Each structure stands twice: as structure tokens, then as C-alpha cells.
Structure 1
Amino acid sequence: MADMVSERYALSLYEVAQDEKQEKLYLDQLTEVCAAFDSEPDFLKMLTTPSIAAEDKQKVLKTVLEGRIEPFLLNFLMLVTDKGRIGLIHEMCQAYKEQYYFENGIVEVLAVTAVPMSAALTDKLRGKMEQVTGKKVELKCSVDPSIMGGIVVKVNNEQFDTSLRTRLEELAARLTGTQESR
């Protein structure tokens, strides 16, 4: 149910952003708002607390966000707060982003390496993934020393794992399987 509600709100916001030709700006600002809620969880908790009057919540939203985000986006946040749906803001942001990516032929790719990749390698990976997917790639890189080497690439619901850790685990499983069958 929450997914459907979040999606409806997000798509309504997206339609307005399209009308204003501000889809990317709204995505960026909505993402910043969600990041602010992540860094200050008490702020979101206050907005979801039923015992606090809706007018007080709206005053706080205006005080904190007015002039920093588009007026319609502020009104949207005040509306979802008034309707008791602000707790779904992260899901709304995700649904908005998915719609934006769909409309603009963008795919999100996550690359995990044992050490940070150089800018040249990052660009090369982005180019290769654009060839493979046929879409613009939004590449997110992260570091996980436990993979020891290689790379793990996640695209949509697929994962391509060429990490040293996985290869060693596969080798150990084969060796263990061989020893057991003797």
C-alpha cells in the first residue's frame, strides 16, 4: 500500500515538474530534502508526530525550506505532511527518481571495488556500461576492502561479480566438494 501511495504522490509531483520543465531540479531538491531528513532524523520525526499541530509543522517547514527549494516543492511537502504521508518521503523520492530515469533513458549502476577507482577507470567503466545498457549511466562507486580485488557491478536487478573474494569462495567450494566426493 505504501508503495502505491508513494508512487502516486511522486508521479503527481513529476507531472508538475514536467509542466514547469524542472524535472531535474525537483529531483535534486527532493534528494537534498531527504538527505536533510537522514542527517536530522528528529526533524522528520517531528513532522510525523500526530500530537503536533499541522499548522506548527507547516510553519517549521516554511522556516527551514522557504527560499531554498522551489515553492511548489515546498507546497508539496506541506501537503504530504498535512495528509500524514511525510513519513513516506524517501519512498516518494525513490519513485520520482525512477520515473525521471525512465523518462530520460538513465540507468543507475553501482560499482564496488576494494580500493577507489581512478577518474580514468571510472570514465571507462561508465562508457562500457553505456554501451552494454544502451542508456546513460548514473555511476555510483563505493569501496569495500573485503572484496580484496576485482569489481562487483550492480545494474537494475543483476549483479556481475568478478571480485577476488568471490573467486576464492568458488574455488574453496569446488575444492571442498571434490574432497567430499572422494
Structure 2
Amino acid sequence: MAELATLARPYAVALYDLATEDHEVDTWRAGLEVLAQVVDEPGVRELVESPSRSAKEKAERLYTLLEDWLPSAARNLMTVLAGVGRLGLLPEICSQFAGLQAADAQATDVTVISASELDGGQVDALRQAMQRRIRGSVEMNVETDSSLLGGALIRFGDTVLDASVRGRLERMREALSRA
């Protein structure tokens, strides 16, 4: 089962990125659910897993089944998956896509401790950068600590990103003491 998840993850992430960029996450999710259900049907499952049928033939038959619904982007997805023999991953791709959507809906608490006061533009830029890194929405808490000397310390979950001057000086001191 882990192998299916590993194989499906890049497709789910790429689709989620595309859907987010186009502001069509709900549309894609509904479409993926339809595709996943169709691929799980016994007759279609046989077609998808049949070694005697070409990738093109498999994709064409699925296009015929779904022609009323199938937008060009979904058609492209099916062509790619059929070409690499991975149409059977559609249910797992759908599941992971749904997981990405759910994770995106939950805000992650991010604490930014800066050496100096940040203006609104800097906070917005940090928020956008953290949303890309976390792949979800963030709740920003901004604090000031002049003992950092410069830069910032960013905490979220169990991760700490130390981009402060004080942190760099401490790491340099440790490296020099080991040498």
C-alpha cells in the first residue's frame, strides 16, 4: 500500500498545485472522485490492468466513457497515466488530493521573532513564503527580540528556521571550536 502512495504522491501534488493556481480545487476534486469511482468499477478495472491493451486504447476507452465530463486537463492526466501504465493509481491520487485539500484548509501557527519591527509588506511576504513552504494556510504571530541582532527566527510545528545574526554567530563559534 505504501508503494501506491509513493507512486501517486507526485501526481496528486502536481494536480493540487495546478488546481490551486487555477482556483479550481473543488472542481478537480469532484472530477478526480468521478475518475476514481469509474476506475474502481470491475469492468473498467479489468481494462486498466489488462496487459494486452495499449495505453492509447485504454485512454480512448475511458475518454468514451467519460466524454460528457472530461475537460482537457483531465484528459491530459489520463493520457499521462495511461502512457506510464498508472491509470490504476487514480483512486490513490484522488485520496491524496483530498488530503492536500484538507491540510490546506487548516491553518498552521507560525511564530516569527524578528530583530526589528516588520512592516505590513514584510509580514505579507513572509506569510506567502510560509504558505508555499507549508503548502497550506498560516496564522502569523510576529514578535520582536532585539537580542537576535538582525534577521529572524521562524517557528512552526516542530521546526525552527534560524536566520538570525545571533544564530549564525553561534553556529560559527561552534564550528570554530570543533576545528
Q: Give TM-score, length-normalised by structure 2.
A: 0.54
Instruction: Name the counterpart of 1:14.
Output: 16
1:131-151 Cα offsets, whole Å, 9 max, x none, are xxxxxxxxxxxxxxxxxxxxx
Distance 1:76 1:44 in 2: 17
Amino acid at match of 1:24: D
Instruction: Name the counterpart of 2:96.
Output: 95
Instruction: Name the counterpart of 1:115.
Output: none
Listed as ranges, the matches of 1:22-33 within 5 Å are 22-33=24-35
Shift of 1:12: 0.9
- Which structure's CA Rg is the greater one? 2
**1:61 and 1:78 in contact (8 A); partners too:** no
Shift of 1:67: 3.3
| 2:80 is aligned with 1:79 | yes
- DSSP 3-state at the match of 1:33: helix
Listed as ranges, the matches of 1:1-182 within 5 Å are 1-38=3-40, 40-105=41-106
1:50-87 Cα offsets, whole Å, 9 max, x none, are 21012211211221222313220121022112111112
Shift of 1:48: 2.1
Distance 1:51 1:57 in 2: 10
Amino acid at match of 1:42: G
Shift of 1:105: 2.6
Amino acid at match of 1:100: Q
Amino acid at match of 1:20: D
Distance 1:90 1:62 in 2: 17
Amino acid at match of 2:53: I
**1:34 and 1:89 in contact (8 A); partners too:** yes
Shift of 1:103: 0.9
Residue segments in structure 2 that go unaligned for 5+ positions in a row: 108-179
Residue segments in structure 1 that go unaligned for 5+ positions in a row: 107-182
Q: Percent identity?
A: 23
**1:10 and 1:92 in contact (8 A); partners too:** yes
- DSSP 3-state at the match of 1:84: coil
1:94-127 Cα offsets, whole Å, 9 max, x none, are 1010001111239xxxxxxxxxxxxxxxxxxxxx
Distance 1:7 1:54 in 2: 21
* Shift >6 Å, 4+ stretches: none
Amino acid at match of 2:91: H
1:34-61 Cα offsets, whole Å, 9 max, x none, are 22233x2221220221210122112112
**1:26 and 1:70 in contact (8 A); partners too:** no
Q: Once superposed, what is the RMSD of the aligned Cα atoms? A: 1.7
- DSSP 3-state at the match of 1:67: coil
Distance 2:22 2:13 in 1: 14
